[in-house]
Structure 1
Amino acid sequence: MWKTVIASLLLVTSAPVASAAGPEQVPHVVAAHHRGLGDGIGYGQAKAHLCDLAKLFTEFAADPQFRDLERREVVEAIVAQPPPVGPTRQARDLVTGYVQGYNRYVARNPRCGARPITEAELYRFNHVAFNEGIFRAYEGIWPSPPKEVKERGSNTIAVGAGGTSGGRGVLLGNPHVPWRGMVSFWHARLTIPGKVDVDGVTVLGMPVVFNGYNRGVAWSATVSTASSYTLTRLRLVDRHTYLVDGKPERMIDRGTHWDTRYGPVTRKIRTNPHLTGDEMTPLPWTDTEAYAVTDLAADRLTTLNAAATFLEARTTDDLKAGLDRFGGTVRTNIIAADRRGQTLYAGIQVVPDVRTDCVVDQGFLDRTGVAIVDGTRSACRAGRLPVDRMPWIASDTYATNSNSSHAFVRADKPLKGFPRVFGDENIANLRTEFGLQEIPRHLGRFDAGVMRKLVLENRNTAAEKHLDSMPCVRPECEVLRKWDRRNEVGSVGALLFDQWFAAGGTEKAFDEVVARLGPKIHQPLGENQYVVRDGGKIPLHGGPGSSGVYNLINMDWKKQEVSDGSSFVFAVEYTDRACPTAYTLMAPARPDLYGAKRWQKGALCG
């Protein structure tokens, strides 16, 4: 049926057409080519999120780094080059189309201060978004700190023929991104007849799919622990002159920041692994010492090119080939399962190749995963690590990631011995521990139903692991003794425990939390953890990452809104049928369905 519809639409127009597909009214973009697909993505994102996009493009156009890139035409020079440095034909067409579609919607719906954008602007936005080092730097590059960045993370489980009930691949994707604002998702089905048919999500301002599936392969991205940049320590002869190989070099005054051969100088860096500003490390800038950010993704469009290949992938091998060809992504793992029953974990991403004798602060590297290298020797400037030295594993059993390092992809086969810049190989977070304990229990029985239950059973890993040994002697402790140790809507005790555990789990912390919460400690979680839509409260299950709740929900308690957490949750099972069995929950768009655990059939075969 859908082929007939597409054929008739293409007879009418070569431009993409959006139509409803499924009970969530998922837009269906149908186009004859990638440029038309990009047009539909740009138009659809604008239709659903115009005010967020208008703010995004306005704020990026105003920031110092963006203005500097524009003035020097840095990104234009990259775009003018052939791949793998410049964009592939697919990436170029997606960007051209996106700008056309976005501008067409803006012209018809002038509001929120939206204005037309150019291709150069969209390339600059994607370039800056995937330059992790510059993104993390404060003071020096930015005249004042950027606004708070919400936490990002994810869970993904891929199970192959050796672990599924049907002998083919099954995937759970559970990305954790902000529910609102400039880093949120847009969900759509994207079709180029005979080439592309994908159900998935794009990040606002980006025309590529990091989380989705087609008839052959399903994939999801998780934020990794790897660093794509180094800090370079400069020895100064005065505040703006540094030494390289014994010769003085003058910093370049860009008007917005001071630049060096190693990158811009900064005085503060975010070292929290989840991209937030929760952990800030000050860096000195004196007459004798300064630090520059050397971002290994700053001279090419690595991530955009690699992700553009995902649309036409048919197998996990295809995904791996796209990553290998362009050098991977930036701080993103890709986990996938296909209809053949193969799985993939690929920690293939832009990572610096650092010489051991060039590291000047081993303790900083051990603590943060970021290398500080000696800027007095030009030979110490890091290059990009070759992809054949990066962690990845393909198998017919399973692979998982929940934002711990590559070492915790498999309980039975840890990947170890990789450079520290990839992440800590010894410490796993609580969500990772939960996954590695649960997955082996279900091997041989995995299907879409098992995945759906596992991701939303709301077990509180921290409580299961620590509550019985935590000091609790007050009468209010009875609330926790009766608690089911889950973060369900009706769970009484979850709110008390989560806030107590996050505050340190001490007797003093317990007293403070009880005093702050008052009668709320006796209320079901859903009476306090909810969002408001159309004037009505929608109770939400799930819990914070600090408690290791797999179904992560982080609340902004002042705004009574989810700051980030389970967003596009999807479970895909390949069978002997041509189309996979798939279920999705687009939580930010339909918190009522999410709160009720009411899964929707995937849009691909609707």
Structure 2
Amino acid sequence: MTSQQVGVDVRNADGTLGRVTRTLWSTRYGPITTSLQGVPLPWVVSAHAVRDVNMDNLRALNTWFRLDQAKDVHDVVNTLETTQGVPFFNTVASDRKGNALYADIQATANITDEHARSCLTMTGQLLFNPGLRPSNVPPVSIFDGKRSAYDWPDDPNAVAPGLMDPHKQPRLIRSDFVGNANDSAWLANPEQPLSFPKVMGDTVTPRSLRTQELILTARNRINGTDGLPGKGFTPQTMGKLLFAGNSRAADLALNATVTACRNAPFGLVLVDGNLVNVSEACPILDAWKDHDYTADSRGSWLFANYWVRLLGGQSIDKLPWRVAFDPKDPVHTPNSLVSGN
């Protein structure tokens, strides 16, 4: 291990400048950390080092250059597979033949599900497997650095040592739509769910409201049921959809929220130990019929602040829903907030 002293000038409470110094440690794997994704990893018996798959990734230059030369989505896939230079992005593309591509082919550590089962520490198992870690925390893999067998194995199909075979990484080409809203690749299109190694994200788990909104918006546009002219996508309809402000949270929870608001005894709700009169909010929320975020919408402002407080940093499946998450209907569940809670 190596150490480095890092000092930063800070303003003291009396307005004077002082200097705070910290010792940062590093290993051959990477820098030492004491937390990751909000999960504490205290340095007691063991230290946790972060290994970065992109530390030596200069291949991205080749990736961007060849993407600029791609003629169709198949060229894009070939570029992603043969360069593996995308550091941590999703790739979405369409071509003049009417094909839509979603791909999560990138520089990914070669941590197959089998390798993870064999090599994860006890802490790593808790943070890697869905159901054990918090649902809003992405998979974190922690291996025992003392054993070389637990290192990232080399794959002959990958372009660099320690990288995952790009053919095992998710991609989908369709003629209707594909998309991603910062969830895993599982539901790039719900008609064709994808499977992939767990290190690249979860499958068969609740989707974010952004993902639900994306899928529903695309479906409605294709079917022509969104109030816009015609069916399918044009530059004009894409522009309208891009700047639409519908709240999926309001679609799922506003009616129950209004009911709970109106049923509060004397309009009083206990907030941080204080009784707050919310009776004036009830008709404003009820009048927010279109669920659109606009500059003159009082209901959207109230609901947005209420929703953030209601979530409290947890994922939506932890809220009190009458209908729980159903992996067979991940776009519409969970739903129906319990208004009496």
Same fold (TM over 0.5): yes
> Per-residue deviation at 1:260?
2.4
Match of residue 380, structure 1, among 145, 150, 154: 150
> 5 Å matches for 1:174-189?
none
The aligned counterpart of 1:359 is: 120
Say whether 1:421 aligns with 2:225.
no
Match of residue 475, structure 1, among 246, 254, 279: 279
Shift in CA distance, 459/396, structure 1 to aligned 2, threshold 3 Å: same
DSSP 3-state at the match of 2:213:
helix
Shift in CA distance, 311/375, structure 1 to aligned 2, threshold 3 Å: same
> Per-residue deviation at 1:141?
8.0
> Per-residue deviation at 1:431?
1.1
Shift in CA distance, 415/144, structure 1 to aligned 2, threshold 3 Å: farther
Contact 2:57–2:85 under 8 Å retained in 1: no
Contact 1:141–1:265 under 8 Å retained in 2: no
- For residues 109-130 of structure 1, the C-alpha deviation after alignment (integer angstroms, 9 at most, x for no partner) is xxxxxxxxxxxxxxxxxxxxxx
The aligned counterpart of 1:396 is: 175
Contact 2:170–2:185 under 8 Å retained in 1: yes
Q: Distance in 1 between matches of 2:5 and 2:252?
A: 42
> Per-residue deviation at 1:442?
2.0
Q: TM-score, normalised by structure 1?
A: 0.39
Contact 2:61–2:85 under 8 Å retained in 1: no
Match of residue 503, structure 1, among 306, 309, 321: 309
Q: Distance in 2 between matches of 1:143 and 1:387?
A: 38
Match of residue 41, structure 2, among 264, 283, 287: 283
Q: Distance in 1 between matches of 2:119 and 2:246?
A: 45
> Per-residue deviation at 1:455?
2.1
- For residues 15-49 of structure 1, the C-alpha deviation after alignment (integer angstroms, 9 at most, x for no partner) is xxxxxxxxxxxxxxxxxxxxxxxxxxxxxxxxxxx
The gaps in structure 1 that reach 5 residues or longer are 1-67, 69-139, 146-254, 272-279, 507-606
Match of residue 488, structure 1, among 294, 305, 310: 294
- For residues 207-245 of structure 1, the C-alpha deviation after alignment (integer angstroms, 9 at most, x for no partner) is xxxxxxxxxxxxxxxxxxxxxxxxxxxxxxxxxxxxxxx
Say whether 1:452 aligns with 2:209.
no
The aligned counterpart of 2:140 is: 370
The gaps in structure 2 that reach 5 residues or longer are 9-21, 153-161, 223-230, 263-277, 313-341
Bigger share in strand = 1
- For residues 368-398 of structure 1, the C-alpha deviation after alignment (integer angstroms, 9 at most, x for no partner) is 3110111121111122111011000122222
Q: TM-score, normalised by structure 2?
A: 0.67
Q: Distance in 2 between matches of 1:456 and 1:321?
A: 32
> Per-residue deviation at 1:505?
6.8
Q: Distance in 2 between matches of 1:462 and 1:420?
A: 28
DSSP 3-state at the match of 1:398:
coil
DSSP 3-state at the match of 2:50:
strand
Identity of aligned residues (%): 30
Shift in CA distance, 353/403, structure 1 to aligned 2, threshold 3 Å: same
DSSP 3-state at the match of 1:450:
helix
Higher RCO (CA 8 Å, separation ≥ 6 residues): 1
Q: Distance in 1 between matches of 2:193 and 2:293?
A: 30
The aligned counterpart of 1:533 is: none
> Per-residue deviation at 1:410?
0.2
The aligned counterpart of 2:107 is: 350
Q: Distance in 2 between matches of 1:268 and 1:259?
A: 15
Q: Letter of the 1:301 partner, please give it.
A: L
RMSD of aligned Cα (Å): 2.4
> Per-residue deviation at 1:457?
2.3
- For residues 432-479 of structure 1, the C-alpha deviation after alignment (integer angstroms, 9 at most, x for no partner) is 101111212222522122211222221111011111122213322111
Shift in CA distance, 499/400, structure 1 to aligned 2, threshold 3 Å: same
Q: Distance in 1 between matches of 2:79 and 2:212?
A: 30
Q: Distance in 2 between matches of 1:312 and 1:389?
A: 24
> Per-residue deviation at 1:327?
1.1
> Per-residue deviation at 1:493?
1.1
Q: Distance in 1 between matches of 2:49 and 2:92?
A: 33
Q: Distance in 2 between matches of 1:324 and 1:446?
A: 29
> Per-residue deviation at 1:261?
2.9
Q: Distance in 2 between matches of 1:457 and 1:295?
A: 37
Match of residue 90, structure 2, among 325, 333, 343: 333
Q: Distance in 2 between matches of 1:313 and 1:411?
A: 27
Shift in CA distance, 505/483, structure 1 to aligned 2, threshold 3 Å: farther
DSSP 3-state at the match of 1:436:
helix
> 5 Å matches for 1:579-590?
none
Q: Distance in 2 between matches of 1:438 and 1:141?
A: 51
Q: Distance in 1 between matches of 2:206 and 2:219?
A: 20
The aligned counterpart of 2:15 is: none
Q: Which sits farther off after the overlay, 400-409 or 302-311?
A: 302-311
Shift in CA distance, 380/336, structure 1 to aligned 2, threshold 3 Å: same
Q: Distance in 2 between matches of 1:391 and 1:337?
A: 17
Q: Distance in 2 between matches of 1:488 and 1:504?
A: 21
DSSP 3-state at the match of 1:400:
coil
> Per-residue deviation at 1:256?
6.9
Q: Letter of the 1:313 partner, please give it.
A: A
Contact 2:89–2:106 under 8 Å retained in 1: yes
- For residues 483-509 of structure 1, the C-alpha deviation after alignment (integer angstroms, 9 at most, x for no partner) is 132102222211111001101179xxx
> 5 Å matches for 1:115-194?
143=6
The aligned counterpart of 1:47 is: none
Q: Distance in 2 between matches of 1:357 and 1:325?
A: 29
Q: Distance in 1 between matches of 2:250 and 2:180?
A: 21
> 5 Å matches for 1:152-301?
257-269=24-36, 271=37, 280-286=38-44, 288-301=45-58
Match of residue 309, structure 1, among 47, 66, 87: 66
Shift in CA distance, 144/378, structure 1 to aligned 2, threshold 3 Å: farther
Contact 1:262–1:381 under 8 Å retained in 2: no
Contact 1:141–1:266 under 8 Å retained in 2: no
DSSP 3-state at the match of 1:344:
strand
